[in-house]
Amino acid sequence: MALTITDECINCDVCEPECPNQAIFLGVEHYEIDGNRCTECVGHYDEPQCVALCPVACIPVDPSRIESRETLWQKFRRLQAENSALPAKNRPPVL
């Protein structure tokens, strides 16, 4: 499953730098999650880092993005392949 950020977000900036997939970005009103990049932290951590850190618990599962663990793993592998194709200076840091 990918996660989503609700309008209860207080834009505290805590989650964005902790996402290992660079899936979180500042939208028009509040932070948002790119469902094509969110693996629910599969491949990196045992639990979603954004959920663990959010002070207002505003990051539920996106009901329109129900995905199996296998699908999330495949997404992780795709993102890794995309990252490795980037020039070294443009790659996200290894967490």
The binder of ligand SF4 chosen from 1, 50, 72, 79 (CB under 6 A): 50
79 near ligand SF4, judged by CB under 6 A: no
* Residue 1 binds to ligand SF4 (criterion: CB under 6 A): no
Q: Does 23 bind ligand SF4 (CB under 6 A)?
A: yes
DSSP H or E stretch at residue 32: strand 31-33
Residues binding ligand SF4: number (CB under 6 A): 27
Residue 52 contacts residue 83 (beta carbons within 8 Å): no
Percentages helix, strand, coil for the chain (3-state, rounded to 5) are 30, 10, 65
- Asked if 43 and 35 count as a contact pair (C-beta separation under 8 A), the reply is no
* DSSP reduced 3-state for 26: strand
The verdict on 76 binding ligand SF4 (CB under 6 A) reads no
Q: Which residues bind ligand SF4 (CB under 6 A)?
A: 3, 5, 9-15, 19, 21, 23-24, 31, 33, 38-41, 48-50, 53-54, 56, 58-59
